[in-house]
Amino acid sequence: MLKFRSVVSRIIALHLLAIVVTSICMPIALDLMLNYAARQLHHRALRDRAAEILQYLDTGPDGALRLSLPATLAQFYSEAYGRSAYAVLDPSGRVLLSSLPGAAAITPARPQTKRFEYFAARSEASEVFGVTVKADMGGQPLMLQVSEDLGHRDVLIDDIVDEFFTRVGWITAPILLLLLGIDVVIFRRALRPIVAASALAERIGPARTELRLPETGMPNEVVPLVRAVNHALDRLEEGFRGQREFTADAAHELRTPLAILRTQIDMIADRELAGSLREDIESMSRLVNQLLDMAELETFVIGEDEIADLAAIATEVAAYIAPLALSQRKNVAVIGTKRPVQVRGNAEALGRAIRNLVENALAHTSPGTTVEIAVAGAGELSVLDRGPGVPNAEREHIFRRFWRSDRRRAGSAGLGLAIVKRIAEMHGATVSVADRQGGGAIFAIRFAAVTDVDTALEHQLETVL
Amino acid sequence: MRLLLVEDNERFAVLLKRGLAAAGFVVDVLQTAEQAIAALRANRVEIVVLDLGLPDADGLDVLGDMRDRQDATPVLILTARGSLEDRVVGLQRGADDYLVKPFALEELVARLQALLRRPGNLLGVTLKLGNLALDTVARQVFIGDRPILLSPREIAVLEQLLRRSGRVVPKNLLADNLYGLAQEVGSNAVEVHVHRLRKHLAEVGAVVQIHTLRGVGYLIAAEKMKC
């Protein structure tokens, strides 16, 4: 069975079916009705003639029946005119009077119960249609037959009835089709607010939770749906906001005591004690930061028009992390293209991803080595180190939360790479790990598409024009 | 050096005040945005350390009020939030630097000093690192008390590095400072100057090291940060 997905096409299909049925049935019905009406007209005309004749019928002094028609009427029934005929019969069928040659009856008499009885008689040349009227003349029962030759029937009525299909009937289909056209236009107009609302709904997403579908202009049948959708969006936005507020509050509540502790440690005179406490609080702070990052990323969304430059991010992260790297007697460098490589995304989030990768690399390399951040024009950002690399068996696990290859190692919660993966996914990018030639690991974030702002603009202009 | 600390957590404020006082700052502590705005309208301070999470308003309101009044006093923002949007918003609203809690007191002091050393902020500053000193007015470099001879370009590079000692100075920033924005610089011009500077400093026995971060820039640090 054909399935029509759109309301309009469904209506059109049903409408077409209705048109087919109607254009067949309606002319047939009209034809029947017309024929019936035409017949009724004939019957009445014949009855009127009969009544007219009865007026001029009387019994002569000899007791015989006589008909004294005025000249015009007599002319009408004359043989020469030949269109109409009358005959008066007695109940036994004997012809008393007749306009026909040879004083014949128009049709053989039959026993009759009704006052008017219609008949059709066919002769060799013509078809005769008539009525037999039961009458009574001075106590004597009579039968008056009046007929008309169908070959000479009223021409006008004839034409209308016979040519109904060709002259009038065909108009039904075009009228119905026109109606269908008008209906389609009306439906389209009625559905326009829904189409507009759909376009608006398309734009609703985590980044634009404040958008609501308009109720004004909506057909009444659709308003409950619109209202329900808007309520659902309200709850969704509420949930998002609640989660964000919780993360922000948690950040404040967790970091403030850490900050107090950290500052107190910084003021301890005993350098050795301060140093070891500092290490503890630093790994604690890193864990808190990563947990908060993870929580924030759950509700973080990239703005529709955010553009990030991978080359700038690489340089910024390298500069940020350089003091840490140098303090560990290691180095960081940025290699690859220096030209802007623009992708759709949030620079701060991508920076955190790269930072986590570099921190991870620094944690696994020995002094004297350099961690490199490579930028590729095709939309790839990778971090290369000279550490031990990642064994094949571990590669699918390292991006999981709280996964650590060595649980005894302090200062790592196993969240860094999970954060990297989450940020990459948010950007529609993939993160992967591979062996580096000559030893070490390569972590690469690959973006689906590089945004060439100029060609994107050109493309937009083209589609607009 | 007068510093206004706007921080609502009393214990943290007391600790910070003590730590900053030890680094030579004269610290006033205020706990609400309202007090801070009133105080900053009435008095001048050299630098402001501003916590974002204040009880009566957002710390950014204090910053906004200052910048609306064309008050260019350097502001360093402290925040416990450190979310993805916060840093960008803070810097966009005119903050000069941004630190997420918890932080090392040393780091805060270093950043405050860097902000105060900025050109246009204080004239006649002597920048010091290890046994090296640079008098920014006389354009004279000393190792200990002994003056040494460097070319003007080398001194300019050294000044840039020392103003941000311990932090990376991007290579393009050095190039812009040396040659101005209009001039096209040969890509290795900066490298040549840094190379010469490094050689000269080593020759005269300076216990500082200029680290090269390939593709990024340079960082000057006291000798303990070895590469």
Give the closest of A258, A300, A370 to B84, CB-based. A300
**Residues of B numbered 72-111 whose beta carbons fall under 8 angstroms of chain A's beta carbons: which are they?**
80-85, 87-88, 100-106
Of A120, A184, A166, A115, nearest to A143 (Cα)? Answer: A115
Q: What is the mean pLDDT of chain B?
A: 85
Q: Mean pLDDT lowest for which of A4-8, A75-79, A81-85, A105-109?
A: A4-8
State pLDDT tens for residues B86-98.
Answer: 777 777 788 888 8
Domain boundaries in chain B?
2-116, 126-222
Chain B hits for A259, CB-CB cut-off 8 Å, are 12, 80, 101-103
pLDDT confidence bin for A367, thresholds 50/70/90: very high
The two tokens of residue A114 are 């009704």
User: What CATH topology corresponds to A7-170?
Assistant: Beta-Lactamase (3.30.450)
Q: Is the pLDDT of residue A362 over 90?
A: yes
Chain A hits for B104, CB-CB cut-off 8 Å, are 262, 266, 278
Q: What is the mean pLDDT of chain A?
A: 83
Q: Is the pLDDT of residue A407 over 70?
A: no
pLDDT confidence bin for A371, thresholds 50/70/90: very high
Chain B nearest-CA residue for A423: B84
Fold matches, B2-116 and B126-222: no
Q: Is the pLDDT of residue A315 over 90?
A: yes
State pLDDT tens for residues A107-131.
Answer: 887 777 788 888 887 766 677 888 8
Q: Is B18 on the interface with A (CB under 8 A)?
A: yes
ipTM: 0.80
pLDDT confidence bin for B135, thresholds 50/70/90: confident
- The three-state (H, E, C) secondary structure of A380-417, written as one string: EEEEECCCCCCCHHHCCCCCCCCCCCCCCCCCCCCCHH
Chain A nearest-CA residue for B215: A334
Give the closest of B19, B84, B225 to A326, CB-based. B225
Give the closest of B9, B104, B227 to A326, CB-based. B227
Q: What is the DSSP letter of A100?
A: S
Q: Is B5 on the interface with A (CB under 8 A)?
A: no
* Cis upstream peptide for A388 (omega within 30°): no
Q: What is the DSSP letter of A205?
A: B
User: What CATH topology corresponds to B126-222?
Assistant: Arc Repressor Mutant, subunit A (1.10.10)
Chain A hits for B170, CB-CB cut-off 8 Å, are 315, 319
Of A422, A179, A405, A166, nearest to A290 (Cα)? Answer: A422
Contact assignment for A322 to B166 by CB distance below 8 Å: no
Q: What is the CATH number of domain B2-116?
A: 3.40.50.2300
Give the closest of B101, B168, B221 to A256, CB-based. B101
pLDDT of residue A124: 66
Q: Is the pLDDT of residue A446 over 90?
A: yes
The two tokens of residue A155 are 């021409």
pLDDT of residue A192: 85
Identify the architecture of domain A204-301 in CATH: Orthogonal Bundle (1.10)
Q: What is the DSSP letter of A151?
A: G
Mean predicted confidence (pLDDT) in A62-68: 79
Chain B hits for A330, CB-CB cut-off 8 Å, are 227
Q: Is the pLDDT of residue A331 over 90?
A: yes
State pLDDT tens for residues B49-98.
Answer: 999 888 888 888 999 999 899 888 999 998 887 777 777 777 778 888 88
Interface with B, mutate which of A247, A265, A266 (most B CBs under 10 A):
A266
Q: Is the pLDDT of residue A49 over 60?
A: yes
Q: Is the pLDDT of residue B225 over 50?
A: no
Q: Mean pLDDT lowest for which of A7-11, A50-54, A115-119, B42-46?
A: A7-11
State pLDDT tens for residues A201-257.
Answer: 887 776 677 788 888 878 888 888 889 988 988 888 888 888 888 888 888 888 888
Residue B45's contacts (CB-CB under 8 Å, 6 or more residues apart) are: B2, B3, B4, B28, B73
Contact assignment for A285 to B102 by CB distance below 8 Å: yes
Determine the distance in angstroms separating the CA of B100 from the nearest CA of chain A, rounded to an integer.
9
Rounded to two decimals, the pTM is: 0.66
Q: Is the pLDDT of residue A134 over 70?
A: yes
In whole angstroms, what is the distance from residue A417 CA to residue A405 CA?
12
CB pairs under 8 A between A and B: 127
Contact assignment for B221 to A326 by CB distance below 8 Å: yes
Domain A303-455's class? alpha beta
Domain boundaries in chain A?
7-170, 204-301, 303-455
Mean predicted confidence (pLDDT) in B7-30: 91
Answer whether A364's CB lies under 8 Å from A338's CB.
no
